[in-house]
Amino acid sequence: MLASGSSGNCSFVATERTRVLVDAGLSFKELSRRLATIGQEPGRLDAVLVTHEHCDHISGLVRLAKKTSAAIYVTHQTAPLIDWEDATPRLERFQAGARLSIGDIEIDSFTIPHDAIDPVGYRFHSQGIRIGLVTDLGYIPDSIKFHLRGSQVLLLESNHDLDMLKVGPYPWAVKQRVMSRNGHLSNEVVGDYLSHEFDSSTATLILGHISEHNNHPEIVRMVARQALDRRGLATNLVIASQKQPTEVFQY
């Protein structure tokens, strides 16, 4: 995870042959800086996968498209909502639910419940390894639970603490949006999922997209750890940050 939060989201997935970015919510300069910390650079990217059109996921996308030859994978409905300015990106449009092949990585896309035009999550397959990535969703339907099973690494959002959100600085209309079934996952909902339906074979769980105003990383950690401990799971729990990349996870 290069960045995760309401100010910018970006993830990096790679094999020996293929390098993929999920979302581009960082400036080109900051993306370059963070990739450099793991020995990578934007010019080596094969593709960028877009989850949806909200600015914290695409604010650096047009600049990235201008500066690199990476293919941009985006759903048919989302592509027209992005202002490409004078860029001529290598667009690869797809239907939500389609399976994509990029180099030696197979990627399943799936619809998620969020207040965007056509938001998607992704599950990556390569060399016997599976990685699930889903943020920006108001609840976890059975279809998504299916896609998340069997992941060695799972990135899931734990956006807000309900009590903090209710007394926080957001206008009531925004609070209602965040709490809705097309909004964001609360710590409580994530804790319930981990307590009952989280796949115990998952080695690393990354929780991200943590609200700066309505949550705290240590609350996220506490709720998740308690849920995992109740099941006796020694899952590696990582809290992703807006300000710095996570460690590199190698399998």
The structure tokens listed for 80 are 């027209």
In this prediction, residue 147 carries a pLDDT of 96
Q: What is the pLDDT of residues 53-77, one digit of tens each?
A: 999 999 999 999 999 999 999 999 9
Selected from 3.40.50.970, 1.10.15.40, 3.60.15.10, 3.30.300.30, the CATH number assigned to the domain covering 1-101 reads: 3.60.15.10
Q: Are the C-beta atoms of residues 130 and 147 closer than 8 Å to each other?
A: no
Residues 6+ apart with CB under 8 A from 244: 34
Tell me the domain boundaries of the chain.
1-101, 137-241
Indicate the pTM of the whole model: 0.96
In this prediction, residue 141 carries a pLDDT of 97
Alpha-carbon 38 to chain mean position: 19
User: Alpha helices of the chain — where are they, by DSSP H?
Assistant: 28-36, 55-58, 61-67, 142-148, 162-167, 172-179, 187-196, 217-230
List the pLDDT tens digit at each of the 251 positions of the chain. Answer: 999 999 999 999 999 999 999 999 999 999 999 999 999 999 999 999 999 999 999 999 999 999 999 999 999 999 999 999 999 999 999 999 999 999 999 999 999 999 999 999 999 999 999 999 999 999 999 999 999 999 999 999 999 999 999 999 999 999 999 999 999 999 999 999 999 999 999 999 999 999 999 999 999 999 999 999 999 999 999 999 999 999 999 99
In this prediction, residue 35 carries a pLDDT of 98
User: Alpha helices of 22-132 — where are they, by DSSP H?
Assistant: 28-36, 55-58, 61-67
